[in-house]
């Protein structure tokens, strides 16, 4: 008896866009929907040899608009599904006089 594949809804296709490049370099990674977002951020940090991510923010621009994400939450808890492009980088500095 062959085990059945989990339903597609149990996974999301994720890519991470940073100031140092994209992870993965092409396409997306298929990850469990219950996995914390921080897992792929850690992989991107190592693969792109990013040394300091202090004060970086995680955000997404999807059907719900632009919003920041909690990297300790899962894709499901963040309301993400399907194909997701995460933006990860330094918080934009505000202007001023």
What the chain holds in terms of domains, given with CATH numbers, is 9-90 (3.10.20.90)
**Interatomic CA distance for residues 90 and 84, integer angstroms:** 19
Q: Does residue 3 have a pLDDT over 90?
A: no
Give residue-wise pLDDT tens across range 26-82: 999 999 999 999 999 999 999 999 999 999 999 999 887 899 999 999 999 999 999
CB atoms under 10 Å from CB of 12, counted, come to: 23
């Amino acid at each position: 008896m062959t085990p059945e594949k989990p339903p597609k809804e149990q996974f999301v296709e994720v890519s991470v866009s940073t100031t140092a490049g994209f992870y993965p370099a092409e396409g997306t990674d298929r990850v469990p929907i219950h996995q914390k977002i921080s897992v792929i951020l850690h992989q991107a940090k190592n693969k792109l040899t990013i040394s300091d991510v202090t004060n970086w923010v995680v955000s997404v621009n999807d059907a719900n608009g632009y919003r920041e994400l909690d990297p300790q939450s899962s894709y499901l808890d963040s309301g993400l599904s399907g194909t997701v492009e995460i933006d990860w980088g330094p918080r934009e500095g505000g202007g001023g006089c």
